[in-house]
Amino acid sequence: MNKLLAISIFLLCCSLSAFSADTVTVPPIIGIENLASWREGVKQADENKKPLTIACFGDSNTENPIYSAAIRDILQSCYGDHGTGYYTFNKNRAPIPRGPEVQYDGKWTYYDTSPGRDTPPPAPYYAMDGFWSSTDDAVASINVQFPQIPGNANHRVRVHYQVGPGLGTFSIFTGNWERIKINCNADKPGYAVSESFLAEQFKIAKITGKVVLFGCDIDRVKILQGENAMPGGALVYALGNGWGMSQHLSPTDEQAFKKFFETTKPDLVTILFGTNDMHNDGRINTYRQAMATIIDKIQHASPGTGILVISCPEAGQTKDGLAEEFANAIKEIAADKKCAFWDWRVLMGSHSRPAEQLGWMADGLHYGTVGGSVFGHLLLKQLGFDINDMKHWTSLARSKDQTDRREIKIPRLKQLKIDEVANALKDEEAYTCWNLDQKAADVKFAMAGDSLAVFVRIYDGRCIADQAVWSGSNIDVYASKVGSWAGDENEKFRGYHGIIRQMVIQATGADGGVKTSGHESGKDQPAPEFPTQVKLMQPYGYELSALVPLSWLLIDEKTDQFYLESAVVVAPGVGAPATFCRLFLPPNQPDGGAFRDNSKAAIVTVKK
C-alpha cells in the first residue's frame, strides 16, 4: 500500500467517525405506574368501547396544536377519525387543523388570560385554555360549519358556557330549528355544558342580555338506528394559550375543571408549561407553586385520571442552566403528587436551534410539523403505545355485512273496528323507526280479518296542536306477497326485488283528518278509502290507527307470509328538515334510500 492511499483511508475513517452518532436513548417516563387510566383507556379503545381521550394543557406549542395534532393523527389513524375534540369560541385562537369553520357576526369581546395579547380580566378564570368570548348584542351570532364527512356521519356537540348572576339567554339552532334554549342566569358564577346534539352545522343566536361562551366539544359519530356505529376512536384536546404560563392556568376555577372533565372524561392529561415561565418570569418558586396548584385542582376535579408532566427544553432566549432547574423542580412536584414525568428537555439538547436545522422547530422556539411528529411518536412510544401492534388498529377491522332480512311475526286477529285497533295491538311488539339517535316512530302490525291493522306512535315535534302546527309527517306501508310478480319477475328481469304496493297515510290535523295516496311499483294508483283514526299526543306527535285493505296490498286473509316494509317521514322540531326513516333495515346498516326494495324488507309470518 502506498503512502498516499494509506493517508486517504485514514482521513476517510476520521470523517466517518466524525459523522457517526451514538445511539439515541429516549428518556423513560418516570412514575408511569401512575398512568393506569391511560392504560385502561387504550384497552377500551382497542375493544371499541369508547374513544381514547387526551387533554393537553400548555403554552403556544399547545395552542398551535402541532404536537397534539400529531398525537391525534397517530391515534386516529389507528382508531378512526373522531374530529378535533374541543374547539374554542375566540377568533384570536390559533386555528386547529381540520377544525370547523366558524363565523362571528355582531359585536363580540374576545378574552385572553395571558398578558402577551390583552390585559387579562380578574381571576378566577373558567376557560380551560384561557380563551373565551362574550356579547350582549341581541343580533350577534356564531355560525359553526363542520367539514363535510363522507359516510353519513354526524358530529355530537356540546356547548360550554358560563352561568352567573345577571347573565342572559341564548339559543342553539340547527338549520332554522331552535333546538336548545339556554338560560345562563344563576346564583353564583360557574361552568356549564349544554345537552349533546347531533349536527353538521349549528348556530348560536337569539341572545338576550349578556352571555359568556367558552367553546364546544366535538365527537364525530355515526348513528344507525339509534346506535353509535363508531363507538371507539380517539380525541385529543389542545388546551393551550400562546403566551401562557403556569400562573395563568393555576387561577382557573376548580369547579370549571370538574365540569369540563365530567363532560370530556380524559384518559390522560398532559401539562407542558415552562418556556414562558423561564423567559418571561424566571422565578422558579412561582413556577413550582403554580404547577402544584394546577395538579391539585385537576386531581380534585378528576380523581384517578393520570397526569403526565413534561419538561420544556432551553430555547434561544433561555438563561443557561435554567431549563434544568425548572425540570428538576417539576420532577419533584410530579413525584410528590403521584404524577408521571417525562424529561423531553434531554432529547432536545441544551438549545433548540440545532433542532431548527433538522426541521423540528419553526423558529427555534415553536415546533414545526416535523417536530410535532417527533414529539408525538416518541411520547406515545414511552407511554407504551406500539403503533405496530395491530390490536390498536381497530379502524382496519371491517364490520361484518349485515344483509340478513328481519324476520317478524304478527298475529292473525278477528275483524276489528278502527277504535279497537290500539287496544287489540297493545301487547304486540313495537318496531322502531330511528331518526339518527331519536325515535321517529313505534309501529305495530296485525292481520285483522280482511285488513292489515297498523298502529303507530309518531314522535314529531312539528305536530303541535296548541301552536296550530301540523304538517309534513306521514307513515308509508309497503307490501308484496312472497312469490308474487314483485318478488319473482322484477328480480328475474329487472334485477331488483320490487315491493309492488305502497300506501301513504298522512295526518292533516289534530281534528283526526288524514289524506292517503297509493302507488304500485313506484307509479301512482288510486287509493281506496279505509278506516283511520288520529289522536294527539302530549306535548307533541300523534297516534295513528289504520285498517288497510289486504286486497289493495295484493294479499288476502289466508296469506301466511309476505314482505313488509314501513317508513315514517318526520322532523324532530319546528323548522327542521323532514327525514325519511325506514323501519326494517338490517342491523348497523344505513338506509340506502330505495323506497321499494324487498332486499331490505322484513319477511312477515302470520301467527295463528
Give the CATH number for residue 538: 2.60.40.1190
Reading the block at residue 482, the C-alpha cell is 312472497
pLDDT at 401: 56
Concatenating the DSSP letter of every residue in 10-65 gives: HHHHHHHHHH--PPP-PPPPBTGGG-HHHHHHHHHHHTTSS-EEEEEEESHHHHTT
Residues 100-115 have a mean pLDDT of: 92
Does any domain span residue 17? no
Of 2-16, 197-211, 490-504, give the range with the top mean pLDDT: 197-211
The DSSP bridge pattern shows strands 602-607 and 169-174 to be unpaired
Q: How many domains does the chain have?
A: 3
Does any domain span residue 12? no
Does any domain span residue 7? no
Does any domain span residue 211? yes
pLDDT digits 0-9 by tens, 340-385: 999 988 887 666 667 777 777 777 677 878 888 889 999 999 999 9
Pick from 9-18, 108-117, 202-211: least confident = 9-18
pLDDT at 368: 79
317 in the same domain as 258: yes
237 in the same domain as 189: no
User: Beta-carbon neighbour count of residue 439 at 10 Å?
Assistant: 17
pLDDT digits 0-9 by tens, 506-542: 998 878 889 999 988 768 888 999 999 999 998 889 9
Does any domain span residue 2? no
71 in the same domain as 113: no
Q: Whose CA is closest to 133, among 158, 112, 152?
A: 112
In whole angstroms, what is the distance from residue 406 CA to residue 428 CA? 17
497 in the same domain as 602: yes
- Of the three residues 167, 192, 226, the one that is the final residue of a domain is 226
Residues 295-305 have a mean pLDDT of: 97
Q: Give yes or no for residue 239 having a pLDDT over 90.
A: yes
Of 76-80, 342-346, 596-600, give the range with the top mean pLDDT: 76-80
Burial 54-90, CB ≥16 within 10 A → b, else e: bbbbbbbbbbbbbbbbbbbbbbbebbbbbbbbbbbbb
- Of the three residues 376, 396, 416, the one that is the final residue of a domain is 396
360 in the same domain as 243: yes
Residues in the chain: 608
pLDDT at 593: 54
118 in the same domain as 256: no
- Domain range spanning residue 570? 407-607
pLDDT at 150: 59
> Cell 301513504 belongs to which residue?
504
Q: Give yes or no for residue 2 having a pLDDT over 70.
A: no
pLDDT at 436: 83
User: Beta-carbon neighbour count of residue 573 at 10 Å?
Assistant: 17
168 in the same domain as 251: no
Reading the block at residue 376, the C-alpha cell is 408525538
pLDDT digits 0-9 by tens, 139-165: 999 999 988 765 556 899 999 999 999
The more confident residue out of 543 and 282 is: 543
500 in the same domain as 483: yes
Q: Give yes or no for residue 495 having a pLDDT over 80.
A: no
Does any domain span residue 10? no
551 in the same domain as 415: yes
Q: Give yes or no for residue 544 having a pLDDT over 80.
A: yes
Q: Give yes or no for residue 489 having a pLDDT over 50.
A: no
In whole angstroms, what is the distance from residue 251 CA to residue 578 CA? 47
Burial of 364 (0-12, 13-18, 19+ CB in 10 A): middle
Contact 566, 484 (CB under 8 A): no
Burial of 148 (0-12, 13-18, 19+ CB in 10 A): exposed
- Share above pLDDT 90 across residues of the chain, in percent, rounded to a whole number: 54
202 in the same domain as 308: no
Q: Give yes or no for residue 200 having a pLDDT over 90.
A: no
What is the CATH number for 129?
A: 2.60.120.260
Residues 565-575 have a mean pLDDT of: 84
Tell me the pLDDT of the chain averaged across its residues: 86
User: Beta-carbon neighbour count of residue 8 at 10 Å?
Assistant: 11
> Cell 420532577 belongs to which residue?
331
- Share above pLDDT 70 across residues of the chain, in percent, rounded to a whole number: 87
Residues 238-260 have a mean pLDDT of: 93
Q: Whose CA is closest to 475, among 541, 566, 410?
A: 566
pLDDT at 488: 46
In whole angstroms, what is the distance from residue 248 CA to residue 77 CA? 34
Reading the block at residue 570, the C-alpha cell is 318526520
- Of the three residues 363, 396, 429, the one that is the final residue of a domain is 396
pLDDT at 496: 45
Residues 282-303 have a mean pLDDT of: 95
Does any domain span residue 212? yes
pLDDT at 118: 67
Of 22-26, 220-224, 443-447, 562-566, give the range with the top mean pLDDT: 443-447
Residues 250-273 have a mean pLDDT of: 96
Residue 598's pLDDT band, with cuts at 50, 70 and 90, is: low
**Angstrom distances, CA of residue 342 to CA of 67, 99, 272, 327:** 15, 29, 10, 9
Contact 259, 126 (CB under 8 A): no
492 in the same domain as 438: yes
277 in the same domain as 186: no
Q: Give yes or no for residue 40 having a pLDDT over 70.
A: yes
pLDDT digits 0-9 by tens, 389-405: 999 999 887 655 555 67
Does any domain span residue 9? no
Q: Give yes or no for residue 465 having a pLDDT over 90.
A: no
User: Beta-carbon neighbour count of residue 422 at 10 Å?
Assistant: 17
